[in-house]
């Protein structure tokens, strides 16, 4: 029986969906996107937020693996957010970071 394509998740923007698809592709998990609003006011190439979102679909036989992969990637992003923006406060008087 051939695999059926099923919805994995829906993102607010095309960019986020494409990012998830790229992560899945790197793990050799096939994925495609359903823009839910193929033309819209800005045309089919629009990557911003949409009212209906952008659904990422994968074959049903890899749905669990795909969910784990994206969950792990989301944890990494959350960890990076906790670290901050990577900027260090510098004392303008002497150009050093506070200790």
The parent domain of residue 28 ranges over 5-72
Specify if 27 maps to a domain: yes
**CA atoms of 10 and 68, how far apart (whole Å):** 16
pTM: 0.63
Specify if 83 maps to a domain: no
Q: Give me the CATH number covering residue 47.
A: 3.30.70
Specify if 97 maps to a domain: no
Specify if 39 maps to a domain: yes
Asked if 34 contacts 54 with a C-beta cutoff of 8 angstroms, the reply is yes
Q: What is the pLDDT of residues 15-30, one digit of tens each?
A: 888 889 999 999 999 9
Specify if 24 maps to a domain: yes
The β-bridge relationship of strands 32-34 and 5-13 is unpaired
Per-position DSSP letters for 29-74, written without gaps between them = ---EEE-SSSSTTT-TT--SEEEEEEEEEEEGGGHHHHHHHHHHHH
Q: What is the pLDDT of residues 53-86, one digit of tens each?
A: 789 999 999 999 999 998 877 665 555 555 555 5
Specify if 89 maps to a domain: no
Q: Could you give the number of structural domains in the chain?
A: 1
């Amino acid at each position: 029986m051939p695999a059926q394509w099923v919805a994995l998740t829906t993102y607010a923007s095309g960019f986020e969906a494409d990012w998830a698809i790229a992560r899945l592709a790197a793990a050799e998990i096939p994925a495609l996107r359903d823009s839910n609003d193929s033309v819209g006011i800005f045309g089919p190439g629009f990557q911003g937020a949409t009212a209906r979102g952008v659904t990422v679909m994968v074959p049903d036989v890899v749905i669990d693996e795909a969910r784990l992969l994206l969950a792990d990637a989301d944890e990494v992003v959350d960890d990076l957010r906790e670290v901050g923006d990577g900027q260090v406060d510098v004392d303008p008087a002497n150009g050093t970071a506070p200790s």
